[in-house]
Structure 1
């Protein structure tokens, strides 16, 4: 059940980002957001890699 909730929250966060008008974000704030998005993407990729390496019986 925790997995479904976490994926729902992740999906909702991405949907929220998709609705933003990025042309209206001040440059400094946009730069900060890009750094944070890259950091979060790296964390997500690490979790994908962890699961990719698991061998199922």
Structure 2
């Protein structure tokens, strides 16, 4: 998947979550959503860590 499209889909998903009122979600469903959100957040953090650990070439010392 293209980077720009993937980021747009992620942004759209987050926007959708922001429109929901968590106080209106039944407790069991809310608990399930929280678990899933934490799993997805961990996956996103893993991808951030992968990209953070990439070392760029030292352009001053080829």
Query: TM-score of the superposition, structure 2-length normalised?
Result: 0.89
Q: Higher helix proportion, which one? A: 1
1:49 aligns with 2:53: no
Q: Give the unaligned 5+ runs of structure 1.
A: none
State the Cα deviation string for residues 6-56 of structure 1 (Å, max 9, x = none).
Answer: 000000000000000111000000000000000000000000000000011
Q: Output the CA distance in 2 between the equivalents of 1:16 and 1:38.
A: 17
Q: Kindly report the root-mean-square deviation, in angstroms, between the aligned alpha carbons of the 2 structures.
A: 1.0
1:10 aligned partner:
10
Q: Pick the structure with greater CA Rg.
A: 2
Instruction: Number of aligned residue pairs: give it.
Output: 57
**Secondary structure of 2:51's match?**
helix
